[in-house]
Structure 1
Amino acid sequence: MTSEGGGPEGAEGVEPGTVRPGGRTARVREAVLRAAGDALVEHGFDGLDLADVARRAEVGKTTVYRRWSSPAGLVADLLTDMAEQSLPRTDTGSLAEDLRANARLVVRTLTDPRQGPLFVAVIAAAACDPRTAEALHRFYAVRIGEWSGCVEAAVERGELPAGTDPGEVIAAVSAPLYYRLLASGAPLDEEVADRAADAAAAAARAGVFVR
């Protein structure tokens, strides 16, 4: 788990879920976030209970309540951790291949036995909890920002028109994949991933995403 140095647990004036711990505190955070993810998969956001998470993580309830204070704070930190652990973007020198790599990574994540249900639970929570929604928006902003570089490079190579919005291209790759996960229930596989990537690339070349 990637973590950075930060203030002590329960530091006054620190928003729960924003401290970057180190040492023993990092190990506690790892255990608690793993337990929180398990609980979300099993019970959803409505069933997320800090005392249950503490029990699963084998840490004191006081530690969990002091550091995260609420289920929303716990989910916010879980999303931060997920963003920290996400794989870096691919750089193949080809827009089509970069976007296909992005789409395949999304599909692998969404079809993973644990990660898929976890994303569904978090997205469902975001629909009814403003703080969780804000954390989810930050998570996707980070991921889109990380992958936008492949679009920027394609513009520099002359593959795409000047003024192409990188974030819109990356969002167009994953949008149909999340639609299948959350709305249609249609299968998700590499063929679907490649088709989504190719469609986004074709639209980008046609100037659809020029600001």
Structure 2
Amino acid sequence: MNDSIEELPAPAPGSARPGGRTARTRAAVRDAVLTGLSEHGYPALTVEYVAEHSGVHKTTLYRRWGSVEGLLADALDLAGEDAWAPPDNGSLSEDLRALAHEVVEAFGDPAAAVAPTAFVGAAFQSPRAAEALHGFYEERFRRCEDVVTRAVARGEAPAGTDAAAVVRAVSAPLFLRLFVTREPIDGTLADQAARVVLAGVDAGAFVPA
């Protein structure tokens, strides 16, 4: 095994994310966690597997992350540090449609959906994974709220529209089919979800009483 990656401490809470070798270490570990989840699922993921596939000694993994739960939580945290931005197509209708289609693209293809589905599955088995998954999606939805804020400014949505509720409502029926009823999703369903939410926005259903 390659032990050449420098062993550096994890960043303190609230501090700037480190770059250089520390960033490469986190990325290598994250990739190994994703691979392990895809190949074996959360129950079979081990620190030894991550060490072998990341090139980071297991002693370092235990020191920095503590356990498989810590590795999983940091992988989700790292995924949430990307530069992803919500769609901005000039209309609420098109933006909601684009958000719904992103869910289909992420989970509709069985091959592409293995890792994100495994993260969701792990959240049902690990409280720490559940907390990390909640944080990841909370950040994603927070970014998506700009779609509704812009729509209100353009006069496409009533003042006071609950942006957080709107963006969650778009993906809710798709996630229901994915993880509860275990039914397939496609572009037609994505369009339907977007139309339903848009109708609710137009009717003022997302303005708190």
One of 107, 119, 134 as aligned partner of 2:131: 134
**2:93 pairs with one of 92, 96, 111:** 96
Aligned partners of 2:177 and 2:164: how far apart in 1? 21
Q: Aligned with 1:89: secondary structure? A: coil
Deviations 1:74-117 (CA, angstroms, capped at 9, x unpaired): 11111122222363111112000001111111111112445412
Aligned counterpart, 1:21: 18
How many residues get paired?
201
Q: What TM-score do you get using the length of structure 1 for normalisation?
A: 0.87
Report the CA distance shift for 1:108/1:123 in structure 2 as closer, same or farther (over 3 A): same
Q: Alpha-carbon deviation of 1:39?
A: 0.7
Q: Aligned runs of 1:1-211 on 2, under 5 Å?
A: 9-11=8-10, 14=12, 20-85=17-82, 87-211=84-208
Q: From the superposition, tell whether residues 123 and 35 of structure 1 become closer, same or farther in structure 2 (CA, over 3 Å).
A: same
What 5-or-longer segments of structure 2 have no aligned partner? 1-6
After superposition, the CA RMSD in angstroms is 2.0
User: Mean alpha-carbon deviation: is it higher for 81-90 or for 154-163?
Assistant: 81-90
Contact 2:108 2:184 survives alignment (8 Å): no
Q: Deviations over 1:35-56 (max 9, x none)?
A: 1011112222221211111101
TM-score scaled by length of structure 2: 0.88
CA–CA distance in structure 2, aligned partners of residues 113 and 192 of structure 1: 17
AA partner of residue 80 (structure 1): D
1:162 shift after superposition: 1.4
CA apart distance, 1:134 = 1.1
Structure 1 vs Structure 2: percent identity of aligned residues? 46
How far apart, in 2, do the equivalents of 1:86 and 1:114 lie? 24
* Aligned counterparts of 1:93 and 1:116: Cα–Cα separation in 2: 29
- Structure 1: which 5+ runs fail to align? 1-7
What CA distance in whole angstroms lies between the structure 1 residues aligned with 2:10 and 2:126? 24
The answer (yes or no) to whether the contact 1:36–1:53 under 8 Å persists in 2 is: yes
Structure 2 counterpart of 1:10, which letter? P
- Paired with 2:79 and 2:36, the residues of 1 have a C-alpha distance of 16
Q: What code does the residue aligned with 2:200 have?
A: A
What amino acid is aligned across from residue 142 of structure 2 in structure 1?
G
